[in-house]
Amino acid sequence: MPILVNNVKTVVLLAALVGLFVWVGAMLGSRTGMFMGLAIGLVMNFGAWYFSDTIAIRSMRGVEVDERTAPDLVRMVHRLANQAGLPMPRVYVCPQEAPNAFATGRSPRRSAVAVTQGALRLLDERELEGVMAHELAHIRNRDTLTSTIAATIAGVFSMMAQWALLFGGRGTREGGHPFAALAVILLGAVGSAIIKAMISRSREYVADADGARIAGSPEGLASALRKLESVARRVPMQTRNPAMNNLFIVEPFVGQTLTALFATHPPTEKRIAALLGRRSDR
């Protein structure tokens, strides 16, 4: 039932994102500009989605491993992929000491999972299994595509906000006040960023639950999340690209200015509580 609720929530949030887009277009009376922005966003984000595995792996300096170079890890992923009904993804190890992991790829047949050296040193076998199962759940649920759709519309609002700031709200319907138009665009940009973050958080809950089922138990993932959250706060990620936040199993670029509204992951204690079937009041 929680998975169904979060899947429904994702659909509702995506619909809300599209509705926000249409509302801003109606308020501005500039549908041509809106849909031109959407077309540009689609092209840009299609490229990002199509080459998502290459972009993410290169940015993290990942090195592909096999049964000769990392036999235990590769065999674990192979076993979990079979349990999930997935083709075997490519497996990478990234040199960062910050403990984390991510999955990427435009489809299950073009997917990859990656883990940092810090995570390999930090986690025991059961915990690493839980983490890899979580990442395989993202692949099975095609969360890369979902995040790309959200990023496309949110990106259009971001572009429009920049244009409005540069050109003083020009290009809106005749008789409209440029400052009112600017306010509408900025409201849309902030709203879309919040909805995009909410979609990402919803998908994390689903991947946690599905990952626990793939691994056969929630205990390993719950224990891994505790360790990853604790150490990630002390060991910064060397690759500082906040746009990649939603890829990782725990948020690696959280700063003091990032509020809960814009966080791409739910609070770790809530994720653990959901995994173990407990309520969290925080």
User: Catalytic residue positions?
Assistant: 135
Q: Are 147 and 126 in contact (CB under 8 A)?
A: no
